[in-house]
Chains A and B, each alone.
Chain A
Amino acid sequence: MSFIIFILIVIALCLFLEFNSIIYLKNRAKRSYSVIDVFLKKRFDLIPNLVETVKGYTKYEGETLENLVKLRNSFEDGDYKAGEKLNDTYNKLIALTENYPKLKASENFLQLQKELTKVENEIQAARRLYINDVTNYNTKIEKFPHMIFALFIGARPMKLLSFATEEVKVKF
Chain B
Amino acid sequence: MYGFIFPIFSFFFLFLIIVILVSSFKGKKVKIDDSVSDKYKDIAFKLIVGNEVLNEERKKYRVKHLVIRFILISFALLVFLSRYLGHLTFIIVLALVIALIVLIVTNNDKNSVYGEIIPKIINDYMKGLKYNHYEGINSSIYREARFEGYDRYSSDDLISGTINDQNFIMSEVHTESRHTDSDGNTTYTTIFHGAFAKVTLKKDFKCFVNIINNKIKLFSKDKYITIDNEAFEKIYDVFTDDKIKAMRLLTPDVTTKMIDLYNETGIYCEIKIINNILYIRLYTGSLFDFSFSNPEKEARLIGKSLAVIDSVFKVMENFIGEVERFDV
A residues near B (Cβ < 8 Å) are 2-3, 6, 24, 35, 39, 114, 117-118, 121-122, 124-126, 128-129, 131-133, 135-136
Looking at the assembled complex, report how far the CB atom of A37 sits from the nearest CB atom of chain B, in whole angstroms.
13
In the bound complex, residues from chain A placing their C-beta under 8 Å from that of B327 are 114, 117-118, 121
The docked-state distance in angstroms from the alpha carbon of A39 to that of B244 is 10
Is there an interface contact between A3 and B225, defined as CB atoms closer than 8 Å? no
Other-chain residue from B9, B221, B244 in contact with A126 (beta carbon distance below 8 A): B244
Is there an interface contact between A24 and B221, defined as CB atoms closer than 8 Å? yes
Is there an interface contact between B5 and A3, defined as CB atoms closer than 8 Å? yes
In the bound complex, residues from chain B placing their C-beta under 8 Å from that of A35 are 243-244
The docked-state distance in angstroms from the alpha carbon of A39 to that of B227 is 20
| New contact pairs (16) apart from A6-B2, A121-B327, A131-B228, CB-CB < 8 Å | A2-B2, A2-B6, A3-B1, A3-B3, A3-B5, A35-B243, A35-B244, A114-B327, A117-B327, A125-B244, A126-B244, A126-B247, A132-B225, A132-B227, A135-B226, A136-B226
Interface presence of B217 (CB below 8 A)? no
Contacts A117-B327, A121-B327, A131-B228: A3 and B247 contacting too (C-beta < 8 A)? Answer: no
Looking at the assembled complex, report how far the CB atom of A117 sits from the nearest CB atom of chain B, in whole angstroms.
7
Is there an interface contact between A132 and B228, defined as CB atoms closer than 8 Å? yes
Other-chain residue from A24, A114, A128 in contact with B247 (beta carbon distance below 8 A): A128
B residues near A (Cβ < 8 Å) are 1-3, 5-6, 9, 221, 225-228, 243-245, 247-248, 327
The docked-state distance in angstroms from the alpha carbon of A169 to that of B3 is 64
The docked-state distance in angstroms from the alpha carbon of A2 to that of B4 is 9
The docked-state distance in angstroms from the alpha carbon of A97 to that of B227 is 35
Chain A to chain B contacts (Cβ below 8 Å), 19 pairs = A2-B6, A3-B1, A3-B5, A3-B6, A6-B6, A24-B221, A35-B244, A114-B327, A121-B248, A121-B327, A124-B248, A125-B243, A125-B248, A126-B247, A128-B228, A129-B225, A132-B226, A132-B228, A135-B226
The docked-state distance in angstroms from the alpha carbon of A135 to that of B243 is 17
Looking at the assembled complex, report how far the CB atom of B260 sits from the nearest CB atom of chain A, in whole angstroms.
20
In the bound complex, residues from chain A placing their C-beta under 8 Å from that of B3 are 2-3
Closest 4 CB pairs of A and B: A3-B2, A125-B247, A132-B226, A125-B248
The docked-state distance in angstroms from the alpha carbon of A168 to that of B83 is 99
In the bound complex, residues from chain B placing their C-beta under 8 Å from that of A6 are 2, 5-6, 9
Is there an interface contact between A129 and B247, defined as CB atoms closer than 8 Å? yes
In the bound complex, residues from chain A placing their C-beta under 8 Å from that of B248 are 121-122, 124-125
In the bound complex, residues from chain A placing their C-beta under 8 Å from that of B9 are 6
Other-chain residue from B2, B6, B226 in contact with A133 (beta carbon distance below 8 A): B226
Closest to A114 in B: B327
Looking at the assembled complex, report how far the CB atom of A28 sits from the nearest CB atom of chain B, in whole angstroms.
8
